[in-house]
Chains A and B, each alone.
Chain A
Amino acid sequence: MADHPIGKSFPRKEGRKKVTGQALYVDDVSFPEMLHGVTVRSPSPRGRIKNISFEGSIPWDEFTIVTAKDIPGANYVALILNDQPFLAADFVNHPEEPVVLLAHRDKYLVEEARRNVRIEIEEQPPIFTLEESLAKKEIVWGEDNVFKKFLVDKGNVDEVWASADLIVDGEYETGAQEQLYIENNGAIAIANATDGVTVWGSMQCPYYVHKALVKLFGLPEEKIRIIQTETGGGFGGKEEYPSLIAGHAALLAWKSGKPVKIIYDRAEDMVATTKRHPSRTRHKTAVTKDGKLLAMEIEFVIDGGAYCTLSPVVLSRGTIHAAGPYVCPNVRIHSRAVATNLPPQGAFRGFGAPQSIFALERQMDKVAHAVGLTPEEFRRRNFIHEGETTATSQVIRESVNMDHLLTRALQLSDYHAKREQFARDNAATNGRFSKKRGMGFATFMHGAGFTGSGEVFLQSVVSAEATAEGKVKILAASTEIGQGTNTIFSQIAAEALGLDFDSIEIVQPDTGRVPNSGPTVASRTSMVVGKLVESAVTGLKQTLLGSGLLPENYGQSEFKTACAEYVARFGSLKTSSTYQPPPNVHWDDEKYQGDAYGAYAWAVYVAEVSFDGLTYEAHVEDFVALQEVGRVLNPVLAAGQIEGGVAQAIGFTLFENVVWKDGRMANNQMTNYIIPTPADIPPIRVFFEENPYAYGPGGAKGIGELPMDGAAPAILNAIENATGISFNRIPLMPERLLEEVSCKS
C-alpha cells in the first residue's frame, strides 16, 4: 500500500502546466473563423430605452448585432429570482447594464464600433446608497426595494433592556470590494440549432452557466454544454457572473453561426461585474456588570445593487455569522438585502460573513471597554462551548475550545508583552506626528458548506471511473480555481484506494461529461465534495473486491490487473456517490433556527499595526492566523489559502476603496484601485490546530472563506489600541484617518 497521502504537501497537480505557461486559459483558446464580441452598456443608471442607433463610419453590415429581440428563449439569468435580463429590453436599472452585443472578425474595429452605438434613455431618478434604498427615496425594485429579509429570534431581547447593567450601541460600515482575480472574465461560444450551444469559459460553477443557458435558449439540457477552461482566480467573482458573459457570447454565436469570443479588459471587468456587498450593521448589546452577554440585537443591511443575483444567500450567511462564536441567551438579528441602481453585487469570498463579523468584533472590543474588561477577558466570559447554542439555537456538538485558541494565538503573536511595550512607547512619544503601534485581535468562526438545507437540496453527485490501465478518473463539476481542487481530490482518492497520488486523474469540468457536484463556493469543495470523492472511489474498490478480481491486500499492480480484467469483462467500471447529510442535522427555513452548518472552522487572528502620524498611513507589521479546520489535508495548500485570504482581507481593510460616481466605479483600473503588492504585505504567520471532523474526508472541514473574516476587525482593534480612536468604517484609507484623527485631536 502507498503511504498515506492525506496530510502531506503534494505539489499542485497542474503546477507544471502553470509554471511553464502551458496552462490554457480562455483567452489562450482560439477557433478558426472566430469573431470577437463586445457588450454595449447603458449610458445612464436608470430609465426607459427610447432609441438605439448605429452611427459613425462603421461598416455595420459586417457586424453581428444582438439585442433583446434576438433572444430565442427567456430573457433572464436563471439564478434565484430570475430578475436580471441578459440584455435590457426596454428599461435599464444600472449604468453598466448590457443592451446591445456586437461581433466582428476584427477586434480593433469591434471596439471602435462599440463607441458608435448610441442608446438614448429617458432618465428616471436613481438611488445609489443603502440609506436611500431603505428610506424608499425611489422604489427601484419590487414594492419596497427589499430583495430579501431574515429574522433570527432567540429568547426575547425585549425583556432584557430594562434590567441590564449596561447597554452598548454601535454602528459599522464596510465598502464594496472588487474580487480582482488577475484573469478577467471571458467566454467563447459555438452555437447553432443542430448541435446546440457549447461554451468554454473562466468560471467557478459550470452548472450555474448550464442552468442559465438552458433557459436563455429554451433548449433541452443535453443541448447545452459548458466547459471550464483553466481559471485565473475567482474568489466568488466567477460564481454567478459567468452566466451573463457566456450567454452573451452564445447569443452572438447563435446569430452569426461562428465561434465568438468575449474577453473583458480590466476596466470593463472592474466597472461592470459584481463586487462584495457594501454593508451597514447596527448593534445593541446588553451585558451584566461582570461582562456576561445578556442580549444582542443586530440590524444588518447589505446593498445588492440593481438585481437580486445571490444577495439572499449572501445575506443569509452574513446574518447567521453576525452573532459569532459566543453564547448569548437572547439574540435578535434583523437583516435586509436592498436594491440600488449600482451594478449588481455578488459573491465574494466570505459571502456576507466578513461584513457582519467586522461589525461584531469591533462591537465586542467596544463592549469590553465599556464594561471595564480587557478584550480578551470579555470574550473568554462569553465563548461558546460544546453543548451550548448559537444564535440560531444550533447545539454545538463538536468539541470547540476558543479559550485555548485565544491563549495560543496571543502567545504566538507575543500580544501581552507587545501591548504593554507599545502602551509605554506610545505614551513616551506623544507628539501628534509620532508613530504609534498597537495590537488587536478577532475571534470568529465560519460555517462550511451550504447553509441549512442547502446541501440536501443540491443533491451533489461525484463519479469515479477506473480505466483498464489502472488509473482512476474523478468526475466532478467542482472547479480548480487556484485553491487546489485537483490536488486535494487526488489525495483523498489515493488515500481511500491505497494508491499512488499519480494514479488519480481529475477530469476537466465539462457538463457533457461530469455530474453536478454543485458549485465551487461556500468552503464546500474539500469538505462536502471531497467526501463524495472518497465514497465514490470506495464504491469502485468495493466493486472490484466484490467481483473477486481484487485481493483484500492489494497494491498498485494488483489494482491495475483487477481493473484491466474488470473492464475486459464488463466494458467499464464506474461508480457514483450522492450527498447524504450527516445525522441529526435539522434546519427550519421559516424560523431561521436550527443547524445552520454541519461544521464550523474556528479561528483567532491577531494583528500588529503601526500608525504614522505624519502620513496617516496604517500599516500591518505582523499577522498571526491561528485556526482549527479539522484535519489539514495538504499543509502547503492550506497555508496558501489562509495567507491569500488574509492578504485580501488586509486589502479590504486598508487599501481597496471603490469610488462611486453616479453609480459607476470611477477608479476601475489597477492604477487607482490598489490591492496589496509584495512590498505591502506583512509576514502572515499561519498556524493550525487539528481536530478531525467525523463527516469530512480524512477529517477535513472547510477552509476557503474563513481567512477573509477576521483580519479587518483585528486590524481596526489594533489601530484603536495604537491611537485611542475608534474607527468603524472600512476601507480605512489615510484620508479617512486624517479626517477622524484631526477632528478628535
Chain B
Amino acid sequence: MIHKIHMNNSIIVEFTVNRKARRVEVFPMARLLDVLREKLQLTGTKEGCGEGECGACTVIINGQIVNSCLVPMAQVIGTEITTIEGVAGAGDLHAVQQAFIEHGGAQCGICTPGMVLAAVDLLKRNPTPTENDIRNGLAGNLCRCTGYMKIFESVVRACQK
C-alpha cells in the first residue's frame, strides 16, 4: 500500500542495520520497509500485503520480530535491526537457512526471508520447540506454495544442528 505523506518535515534517523550504523533523512511516517528497500538497497525484505497480515516484510528490531510495513521511521530511531541479509553473519548460512535449502522450506522464495527470520526468532526464544510451538511461532507468516509441512520440517532440522 502506498500512502500519501503530508508532512514536509523530514527527520534524521540514526539506527543500526545488520551491525552497521546507518543515518537516513526521511519523513517520520515513511515505512521502515520502504527505507530498507529503497534507501539502503536491502531488497531481501519483501512486501506481500502492506497491512501486517502476511509477514513477508518481517525484520528483527531490538530482538523482536516485526512487520516492517507497519513501522514508521520515527519509531526506529536508535534501534538495532536485523534483516535477512544480516541474519547469518559474513558469508555463511544460518542453520535455519541451511535447513530451508535442504528440506524444501523454500519454493517460490518470496515469503522465505520473513519465514526464516520468524524461525530464527522462534529458535532463539525456544531452542527445542514442539510442533505446536512451531505452528504458533510461524503463525504470522503466510506461505502459498509449501502447505507449511516442509517449513515445519526445516525448523525441526535446524534445531537438531
Contact = CB atoms under 8 A, between A and B. Distances in A.
16 contacts: A16-B101, A19-B97, A20-B84, A21-B44, A21-B45, A21-B84, A21-B113, A182-B46, A182-B54, A183-B48, A231-B108, A484-B107, A637-B104, A643-B149, A644-B107, A646-B147
Interface string A524-538: 000000000000000
A265 B144 contact: no
B79 to A, nearest CB: 20
B43 A24 contact: yes
Contact of A11 (B102, B108, B145, B151): B102
Contact of B109 (A23, A108, A648, A681): A23
Nearest to A481: B108
Contacts of A18: 106, 109, 112
Contacts of A670: 48-49, 51, 53-54, 142
Interface string A636-652: 11011001111110000
B5 interface: yes
Given A19-B116, A265-B1, A670-B49, A182 B107 contact: no
Interface string A459-472: 00000000000000
A18 B145 CA distance: 14
B144 A181 contact: yes
A235 interface: yes
A483 interface: yes
A182 B143 contact: yes
Contact of B144 (A20, A182, A640, A683): A182
Contacts of A180: 144
A677 B142 contact: yes
B106 A266 contact: no
B50 A266 contact: yes
A143 interface: no
Contacts of B47: 27, 265
Given A21-B44, A27-B43, 19 more contacts: A12-B107, A15-B106, A21-B42, A21-B45, A21-B85, A111-B2, A112-B4, A179-B144, A180-B144, A182-B110, A182-B144, A230-B109, A639-B150, A640-B104, A643-B146, A644-B147, A669-B49, A681-B147, A686-B149
Nearest to B45: A21
B104 A19 contact: no
B150 A16 contact: no
Contacts of B107: 12, 233, 482-484, 640, 644
A686 B104 CA distance: 14
Interface stretch (B8-16, B70-78, B132-140): B132-140
Nearest to B118: A678
Interface in B105-141: 105-113, 116, 134-136, 138-139, 141
B149 A684 contact: yes
A482 B145 contact: yes
Given A232-B108, A670-B51, A107 B149 contact: no
A19 B108 contact: no
Interface string B64-106: 0000000000000000000111001000010001001111111
Contacts of B105: 19
Interface in B1-30: 1-5
Given A12-B106, A19-B112, A266 B144 contact: no
A434 to B, nearest CB: 24
A contact face: mostly helix, strand, loop, or mixed: loop
Nearest to A16: B101
Chain A interface size band reads 35 or more
Nearest to A681: B148
Given A16-B93, A482-B145, A183 B46 contact: yes
Interface in A512-548: none
A182 B112 CA distance: 10
Nearest to B109: A18
Contact of A636 (B5, B48, B104, B109): B104
Nearest to A480: B108
- What 10 pairs across the A-B complex have the smallest Cβ distances? A21-B44, A482-B108, A232-B110, A18-B109, A647-B147, A643-B147, A482-B107, A21-B84, A670-B53, A28-B43
Given A232-B108, A266-B49, A636 B2 contact: no
Contacts of B4: 108, 111-112
B32 interface: no
Given A111-B2, A482-B107, A675 B93 contact: no
B139 A678 contact: yes
A679 interface: yes
